[in-house]
């Protein structure tokens, strides 16, 4: 539509003839006059057809909610009690052009939508996203991402994308795997996180990397977990724990103060709680330390530190025997400096603390990171404690060990659960409300009916045969 302007800019064009385009929101036919509200991505405005414009009245009598139309008219100032809802203006309509008619929507999109069954909302997500609440959530998500990008750019970070087709390695959750057609019988894995890639960036001399990274984990779902989610991922060279924590604390504070000024941060600087204290006092390593849990605009951040490096695996089949050792965070973490020798010598394993730090907000872990092992002997020691032979580590992680042996600086980083953070900032009950196209509680995309079967021909090309 030529010379179209956004609804948000109408107030700057009072007395002018303009063109807008968007959706019919509601319509009120009063016989000699027809009123209807129009909305676009920037806002909503009341449109009025008067008897002096007979053709426009006939056109307005035909249109219905959710039709996509263009409207030409004159911008008028409003002085009635509802004036501010439309930015203090309305449009005297001179012409309506219908771009696309719409059937009655399958779900009601005129309210917040909480009362509608989620299976219907997800099936018709393209409609669900039209509601004002969802528009706000997704647009605010964009604003936070832009703020992060601008802030990290000023801190000399560069944004680098990492591969989606990667290698299956043990990182704490099940991998989604992708069969290779050209190398049948072998598989790619979708990344649980860009952990290894970002450490290799440090080996490459990039020094400061970040990414809004897509991560995929095949695990049981809940309100703050999805099979596909977004991390703010970052890594820095030549830093210690305090450097990483200080930068991230500053960034979180600035996001709240600039984009969510109505919210109050309970305590600055953020309190620090040891893992031992958190478990003894709160019974969880994700403590909700809010003074008033009924205040929806109260944000209680805290750092949880001093995690044990290793824990015993479950050995319920043989209660009299101890389980094997496994990592509590990830195998690439470094031990705290005072425990470095114990790690290398595989001694006092239960006492070794990892150089890990989690950021917790209102009872949710919204981020976790650590200073990493950057020496090959330290990484090998971690796997040896977990019972993995050196030959196997050299085979599976040869590229990491080779990079470390090629001269990799000390480094560390963190990853935020970005969807969780947005859920809390937007006062939503689960992360699906701040994601554009989430899966349901069973990991299914109801809109596209995915996962789905594929033709036998496609399976044959991949060298895959399904069992009964």
So what's the pLDDT on residue 310? 95
Separation between Cα atoms, residue 23 and residue 5, nearest integer Å: 14
Separation between Cα atoms, residue 53 and residue 205, nearest integer Å: 68
Measured torsion, CA atoms of residues 135, 136, 139, 142, in degrees rounded to the nearest 10: -130
Report pLDDT digits (tens) over 274-310. 999 999 999 999 999 999 999 999 999 999 999 999 9
Q: Which two tokens stand for residue 162?
A: 């990492």
Cβ-proximal residues to 65 (8 Å cutoff; 6+ apart), any chain: 23, 24, 25, 26, 27, 102, 105
So what's the pLDDT on residue 224? 80
Q: Judge if 42 and 154 occupy the same domain.
A: no
Q: Judge if 295 and 424 occupy the same domain.
A: yes
DSSP structure string for 327-355: ESS-TTBPBPGGGHHHHHHT-SGGGPBBS
pLDDT at 462 over 80: yes
Residue with the larger pLDDT of the pair 165 and 1: 165
The parent domain of residue 357 ranges over 133-434
Report yes or no: 440 and 119 within 8 Å, Cβ to Cβ.
yes
pTM of the model: 0.93
Q: Judge if 278 and 159 occupy the same domain.
A: yes
So what's the pLDDT on residue 313? 84
CA atoms within 13 A on the CB side of 334: 22
Is 52 a member of any domain?
A: yes
3-class DSSP state of 326: strand
- The band of 323, judged by pLDDT with boundaries at 50, 70 and 90, is confident
pLDDT at 170 over 90: no
How many structural domains comprise the chain? 2
Q: Judge if 69 and 137 occupy the same domain.
A: no
Cα–Cα nearest to 302, from 259, 258, 262, 252: 252
Cβ-proximal residues to 212 (8 Å cutoff; 6+ apart), any chain: 145, 148, 159, 230, 231, 232, 233, 418
Separation between Cα atoms, residue 422 and residue 254, nearest integer Å: 15
Q: Judge if 241 and 369 occupy the same domain.
A: yes
Q: Judge if 221 and 148 occupy the same domain.
A: yes
CATH number of the domain residue 18 falls in: 2.40.50.140
Q: Judge if 328 and 213 occupy the same domain.
A: yes
Is 107 a member of any domain?
A: no
pLDDT at 242 over 90: yes
């Amino acid at each position: 539509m030529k010379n179209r302007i956004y609804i948000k800019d109408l107030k700057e064009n009072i007395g002018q003839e303009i063109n807008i385009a968007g959706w019919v929101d509601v319509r009120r036919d009063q016989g000699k006059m027809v009123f209807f509200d129009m909305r676009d991505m920037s806002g909503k405005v009341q449109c009025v057809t008067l008897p002096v414009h007979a053709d426009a009245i006939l056109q307005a009598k035909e249109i219905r909610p959710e039709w996509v139309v263009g409207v030409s008219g004159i911008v008028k100032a409003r002085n009635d009690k509802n004036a501010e809802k439309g930015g203090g203006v309305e449009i005297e309509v001179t012409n309506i052009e219908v771009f696309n008619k719409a059937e009655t929507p399958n779900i009601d999109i005129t309210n917040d939508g909480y009362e509608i069954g989620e299976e219907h909302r997800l099936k018709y997500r393209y409609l669900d996203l039209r509601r004002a609440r969802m528009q706000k959530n997704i647009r605010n998500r964009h604003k936070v991402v832009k703020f992060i990008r601008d802030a990290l750019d000023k801190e000399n970070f560069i944004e680098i994308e990492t591969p989606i087709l990667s290698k299956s390695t043990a990182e704490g959750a099940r991998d989604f795997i992708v069969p290779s057609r050209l190398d049948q019988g072998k598989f790619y894995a979708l990344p649980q996180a860009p952990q290894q890639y970002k450490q290799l960036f440090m080996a490459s001399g990039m020094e400061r990397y970040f990414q809004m990274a897509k991560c995929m984990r095949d695990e049981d779902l809940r309100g703050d977990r999805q099979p596909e989610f977004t991390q703010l991922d970052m890594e820095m060279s030549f830093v210690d724990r305090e450097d990483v924590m200080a930068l991230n604390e500053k960034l979180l504070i600035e996001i709240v103060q600039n984009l969510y000024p109505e919210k109050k941060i309970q305590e600055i600087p953020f309190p620090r709680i040891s893992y031992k204290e958190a478990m003894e006092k709160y019974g969880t390593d994700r403590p909700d330390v809010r003074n008033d849990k009924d205040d929806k605009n109260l944000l209680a951040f805290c750092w949880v530190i001093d995690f044990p490096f290793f824990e015993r695996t479950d050995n319920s089949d043989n209660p009299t025997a101890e389980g094997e050792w496994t990592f509590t965070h990830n195998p690439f973490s470094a031990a705290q400096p005072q425990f470095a020798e114990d790690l290398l010598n595989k001694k006092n394993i239960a006492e070794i603390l990892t150089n890990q730090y989690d950021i917790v907000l209102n009872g949710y872990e919204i981020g976790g990171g650590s200073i990493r092992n950057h020496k090959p002997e330290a990484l090998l020691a971690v796997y040896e404690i977990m019972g993995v032979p050196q030959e196997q580590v050299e085979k599976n992680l040869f590229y990491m060990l080779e990079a470390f042996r090629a001269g990799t600086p000390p480094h560390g980083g963190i990853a935020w659960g970005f969807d969780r953070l947005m859920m809390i900032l937007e006062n939503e009950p689960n992360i699906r409300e701040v994601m554009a196209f989430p899966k349901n509680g069973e990991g299914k995309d109801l809109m596209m009916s995915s996962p789905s079967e594929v033709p036998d021909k496609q399976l044959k090309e991949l060298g895959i045969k399904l069992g009964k």
